[in-house]
Structure 1
Amino acid sequence: MHSATPSSNPSRPVDSFEPIERVANRMVGVGFSPHRHDTYTIALTMAGVQAFNYRKVMRHSLPGQVLILHPDEIHDGYCRDEAGFSYWAAYVPPAHVQTVLGGAELPFVSNGVSTNPALIAAAMRMVIDCAGVAEPGAYEDALYDLAQAMNDAAGKAAKVRIANRTAVMRAREILDATFVFGARLDHLEKVADCDRWQLSRDFRALLGTSPYRYLQHRRVDLAKRLLREGVTLAEAAHGAGFADQSHFGRTFRKAVGLTPKEWLRSDLYRTIIL
């Protein structure tokens, strides 16, 4: 059994940022199968012990620690004991972090769990403190603090490779506009005016995932919205651009850790998009 408790009085970032997702969840006797996000997962364990496999090592997140999962990294999640655990999380797009980093490669917190005081404080601001604040500056401040704290915790060297941010953001715009129908890498190469393989490397460096996986996550996001509106699984699959319901189910589980039916039966689908 598990349940999700949506935050009240949701905040909206400034117009230059798309809304982010925040979740308050309690899990008992259930777990997530291996999956990956195209966002940073910033999570605070509020009670119990959260166990998960990350980069081929079993890890545990305890109350008072912060869990930072890099985009596109496979992980699962399960209860260490019958008491279960509860957590609050925010899913921060790499594109938001890039507004602070300005072209530097994304920071990687290698252990997945940290006791770094500055990083914990920054995560608290992002996950909890600005969740119910309508003032746009609250999100901007939390985002800046989080990006800097992750950079420091990752021990980033002063010398970094600067990717072609203009080309990557142009490719992202095209994918956002055409994800239902799809966009080939050679088309992105033309519209972004950048060699397709360099574009692919830079896209991964700046946004944490490949163009294809980014497109798939946008399709899953649309399918979630359609399912929340009450359409059937088949209608959601078709409306989000999946070739068939089987493809939809496989992709959904890889992105969410649950099948579409499991997600609908849970309370997670009621989570408010903040």
Structure 2
Amino acid sequence: MSAGAEVRAWRPGLTGVVEVLHAHFPSHAYPSHTHDAWTILIVDEGVVRYDLDRHEHGLAQSKVSLLPPHVPHDGRSVLPQGFRKRVLYLAPDRLGDGLIGAAVDQPEYADPLLRHRIHQLHGVLSDGQEHLEAQSRLTLIEERLSQHLRHDVVTPPDRRDAGVAARLRELLDAHVTEGITLEDAAKLVHAHPAHLVRAFTREYGMPPHRYLTGRRVDLARRYLLDGLPAGDVAPLSGFYDQSHLNRHFRKMLGVTPTSFRRSAGRPS
């Protein structure tokens, strides 16, 4: 490893993402190599220059780079202080072999919405506890990337679909504790996952993962009012652990679950 380099890499447990990498390289330069995955790269500090299929490209902080599988590329810093980057590696079938040529021709996108969504997904994956949110955010990222590769980036029409939204809400209500994957929900509702997320958000004013979190907090409140300790309430109400419960409970109610439980039965 280059002097002063910092690397954090992990498998996130999110279907479709084979690896996440966060790295700071003050001086490292990548030799030419390939990946067997789609590589989604954003730069947080510095500027990166790279050759892809013998053509030179540059990536600044405002852009997103998508490197296709099996195509040689390298990487180096433009600035003397190096660069800081975050990378998602997607399984090859998430975008498909048919789009590799388009990615070689145009591997960078000046798309603030896409970059923001990628930034949000990295935050969710760093936490590792919000599975439905991660699935939803990945679905919208993949849809946006596919639009770029097919040269048909558009703003999705503001189309309401109350039936699809209602069926998803019924599924979320029926699986509050154990949860349900976005892919499974899409199969049961017979809708594309991205449409499912958008339809629900437009109909109810919040994305599916936020609705599910609210239902879990409501369930936790009932258990706490029944006198159960917070440590037991977390798994019973669908949270990863007590810390996970505490974070969402405080965000929604402004107090910890333990404080809420202590207040039970006391009139204002």
With structure 1 as the length reference, what TM-score do the two structures score?
A: 0.48
Larger radius of gyration: 2
- Which structure would you say has the larger RCO, counting Cα contacts within 8 Å and 6 or more residues apart? 1
With structure 2 as the length reference, what TM-score do the two structures score?
A: 0.49
